[in-house]
Structure 1
Amino acid sequence: MDVQAIRQEFPILHEEINGHPLVYLDSSATSQKPRTVIEAVDTYYKKANSNVHRGVHTLGSRATEQYEGAREKVRNFLNARSTAEIIFTRGTTTSINTVAYSYARANLKQGDEIVITPMEHHSNLIPWQQAAKATGATLKYIPLQDDGTISLEDARAIVTENTKIVAITHVSNVLGTVNPVEEMAKIAHEHNAVIVVDGAQGAPHMKVDVKDMDCDFYAFSGHKMCGPTGIGVLYGKKELLEDMEPVEFGGEMIDFVDLYDATWKELPWKFEGGTPIIAGAIGLGAAIDFLNEVGMDNILAHEQRLADYAMEKIRTIDGITVYGPEKRAALVTFNFDDVHPHDAATVLDAEGIAVRAGHHCAQPLMKWLDVSATARASFYLYNTEEDIDRLVDGLLKTKEYFGDVF
């Protein structure tokens, strides 16, 4: 894997920020985009811009072919059985909300249980809170171990015959915890529950095989995996999706309409009301091509080396607390003693280093960590050990800047 060659494909990585070469360490929030993705979106608007499915003219055919071609690329990327199981959405949030509204509210009742964890992003927490309130179901939590992982023994104790839905993140956006989703799927299915996996931090970084995982639903966003913003995917098992009602109604998703009733198109189009995110889907398809060319196994191995290197270097700095397990995905979340993470991130930005600071849309997890916010450096296929060295130098300058508190 030639990281320097990969970096050349990302125009923004050659930017200067505050007089310094950019070090971008915020890919968990959104990844940067390679030329092939930018050009795919640009070419669509220049040469194929048209609405999909409805037109018989040449531009309409081009747009439809590219849009549905992107769906096939997603199907292959996830190893799903059929393109009928691939629904384009605005992102992970919309995908999970679709399941929470369409599946959960139709299948839950008083006394049923939804099982999640305290590490969930708000997008995989609030929809289940609302579903529980709407149906009378109970929300239950698998407790976290001291290092921010979950115990399968705890999971087996929490998931019961009353559990109807298990919702869990593939990878924590704060701790870097990689959850045992395959084992969690087995536990859920032993109790006739469905499992919903938040793959926002999983799909960009590792191979995802939904058949091997045996998840019932898997959600992810294009913008975190080199694709455009505003495009995401909901994978769902066909037999479940067929029994679900759409959550948006209007053009494109209908089969037949009369004055008092309507019927829906077959999968996946019944969940894609209105003009879809055509350019976004085409850009996502180009991003998948790019990632496949690099190789998901190569990306994962590279990121693991970066995570290990970052942990080793950051831990040498006195006055920093690192959160999360030893074995982790490609991010390091940390705090300086007595320095707010926003202040630390501001000093780093002055050095051209972009990290994320805040609660990371995970306020219950911040409460569990006993902090109000943290700083997070997250890595992707285009990052290098030199980027981490720059981060460490920036952290040392931050410590020097706030030296009176140490």
Structure 2
Amino acid sequence: MSQLDTLPKLDVAAIRADFPILQETVHGKPLVFLDSAASAQKPECVIKAEVDLYHHYYANIHRGVYKFSQDATEAYENTRETVRAFIGARSTRECLFVRGATEGINLVAQAWGRAFLKEGDEIILSEMEHHSNIVPWQMVAEEKGATIKAIPVLDDGSLDMEAYKSLLSDRTKMVAVAHVSNSIGTINPVKDIIKMAHDVGALTLIDGCQAAPHFQIDVRDLDADFYAFSAHKAYGPTGIGVIYGKEDLLDKMPPWQGGGDMISTVSIEKTTYNDLPHKFEAGTPNIAGGIAMGAAISYINSVGFDAIEAHEKAITDYAMAVLGRVNSLRLIGTAKDRCSVISFVMDHAHPHDIGTILDRQGIAVRAGHHCAQPMMDRFDIPGTVRASFGIYNSTDDVDRLVEGLQKVVDIFG
């Protein structure tokens, strides 16, 4: 009996049938897609949600009195309620739609940072952050004269919480960290991180891109001040995402961008801004993407996080065990609390060469620094091969990966 047999069942064959692209072949081989951490594949219901809009009721939203506009507005705003429930927000006013987590983090860095950061203030990040949770803070810190500090990463890929405690002070104004590392899969103790930040009067932003598809998020239980995620990591479309913010904080922040829909009144002399969430949503949005994001979240809900977590944990545990036995392979990041992302290097073979050899076997992995160069520097490596799993993966995919890696061993020794 395999480990999967002892856990809540997820019908992988039925799940895979929902994803048209998984029926494709690559170089004549059945596709093994192990790059969901970069961008997950899309189920038919998500594709249909976009197509249905353009086929049957497309119109701009929030402005029209005619039926198509009202129908599109209703579908788009229904997603906001779906998002609110998905992350446990108190109100839809706290759920801002953006192009993705990158834009959401930039929104907070610019709107909050420009308004409230002062010279000498400190921002705490971590060594494992995605560039999208580093560069926006560097930009505003340089402008405002603030300082950035980083929580070190331990040898197993977990955060050094004692070092984090020592970094905190009354000068700390923002702590911005990933819920899950995109490069090595570590799940960070963000609830503790948030409480410790609040104890010194600091705010927090959590990058939840790698958490949203894999386990239940509750922003109120975490007490996060801001929380960002992108739809495309969670089986939804590109070009749409969410930045959650506590309503009292968003009320105090000035808009980041100006334009249509974020205004109440406009004259040449003065503008008054719209209510939340629209105050931060200038211009015509990604209407089809917003509607399809709702379909993706509904799909995740239909599968259920209990089944998702159990299934992905079993696959990840299995992969960690069998990959650890591949000759010359070294796992990067072995923290106990981890999600379905595995990074590794191999002696004598560059990650890009490994990725190319695997591609010829129909296996899609990511090779490089994963937009996490400080993390690669921490482990003194140029990059890794990253295999990341979604609800449509199985232990058979892991076995195919191991077979492909054996070819790398045969070529490079």
TM-score by length of 2: 0.97
Counterpart among 138, 155, 164 of residue 155 in structure 1:
164
Aligned equivalents of 2:306, 2:125: Cα separation in 1 = 28
Displacement of 1:289: 0.5
Alignment partners' CA distance in 2, 1:148 and 1:133: 29
Given the alignment, which residue of 319, 334, 359 partners 2:369?
A: 359
2: CA distance, partners of 1:325 / 1:246: 41
The CA distance in 2 between the partners of 1:113 and 1:301, in whole Å, is 39
Question: Structure 2 counterpart of 1:336, which letter?
Answer: M
Displacement, 1:326? Answer: 3.8
C-alpha distance in 2, partners of 1:300/1:264?
42
Distance across 1 between alignment mates of 2:343 and 2:143 = 35
CA distance in 1, matches of 2:401, 2:296: 27
Match of 1:402 in 2: 412
Q: Shift of the alpha carbon at 1:318?
A: 1.4
Matched, 1:333 2:339: no
Question: What runs of 5+ residues in structure 2 fail to find an aligned partner?
Answer: 1-9
Q: Does 1:77 align with 2:93?
A: no
Matched, 1:261 2:270: yes
Q: Summarize the alignment of residues 47-196 of structure 1 with structure 2, pairs less than 5 Å apart.
A: 47-196=56-205
Counterpart residue number, 1:342: 352
State the shift of 1:259 in Å.
1.0
Q: Determine the C-alpha separation between the residues in 2 that align with 1:185 and 1:326.
A: 20
Distance 1:190 1:8 in 2: 48
The CA distance in 2 between the partners of 1:45 and 1:300, in whole Å, is 35
Of 28, 35, 38, the match for 2:44: 35
**Cα pair 2:327 2:409 within 8 Å, conserved:** no
Q: Please say if residues 79 and 291 of structure 2, whose CA atoms lie closer than 8 Å, have aligned partners that are also in contact.
A: yes
Contact 2:266–2:272, Cα closer than 8 Å, also in 1: yes
User: In the TM superposition, what whole-angstrom CA distance separates every residue of 1:130-181 from its partner, at most 9, and x where no partner exists?
Assistant: 1110111110111111111113322211111110000000000111110000
Report if aligned partners of 2:12, 2:394 keep a CA contact under 8 Å in 1.
Answer: yes
Moved more, 243-252 or 22-31: 243-252
Name segments (4+ residues, structure 1) moved above 3 Å: none
Query: Which amino acid counterpart does residue 66 of structure 1 have in structure 2?
Result: A
What's the CA shift for 1:297? 2.2
Matched, 1:305 2:314: yes
Partner amino acid for 1:97? N
Match of 1:2 in 2: 11
Shift of residue 190 of structure 1? 0.5
Deviations 1:8-37 (A, max 9, x none): 000000100000000000000000000010
Return the match for 1:26 from 24, 35, 40.
35
Question: Is residue 380 of structure 2 the alignment partner of residue 370 of structure 1?
Answer: yes
Question: Which residue identity lines up with residue 209 of structure 1 in the other structure?
Answer: D
What SS class does the counterpart of residue 347 from structure 1 fall into? helix
Corresponding residue for residue 248 of structure 1: 257
Contact kept, 8 Å, 2:348 with 2:412, in 1: the verdict is no
Higher mean C-alpha displacement, 18-27 vs 125-134: 125-134
**Alignment root-mean-square deviation, CA:** 0.8
User: In 1, are the aligned partners of 2:158 and 2:335 still within 8 Å (CA)?
Assistant: no
Residue 227 of structure 2 is aligned to residue 215 of structure 1: no
Which amino acid is the alignment partner of residue 363 of structure 1? Answer: Q
Deviations 1:189-236 (A, max 9, x none): 101110000011111111000000000000000000000010010000
Distance 2:261 2:141 in 1: 31
User: Is the contact between residue 46 and residue 296 of structure 2 (CA under 8 Å) also seen in structure 1?
Assistant: yes
Distance in 2 (CA, whole Å) between partners of 1:157 and 1:173 is: 25
Give distance in 1, aligned partners of 2:13 and 2:164: 43
Instruction: Report the identity percentage.
Output: 52
SS of equivalent residue, structure 2 residue 348: coil
CA contact (8 A) 2:157 2:335 kept: no
Partner of 1:203: 212
**Is 1:239 equivalent to 2:248 in the alignment?**
yes
- 1:82 & 1:93 partners in 2: Cα distance? 22
Name the residue aligned to 2:5. none
Contact persistence 2:184–2:342 (CA under 8 A)? yes
2:399 counterpart of 1:389: yes
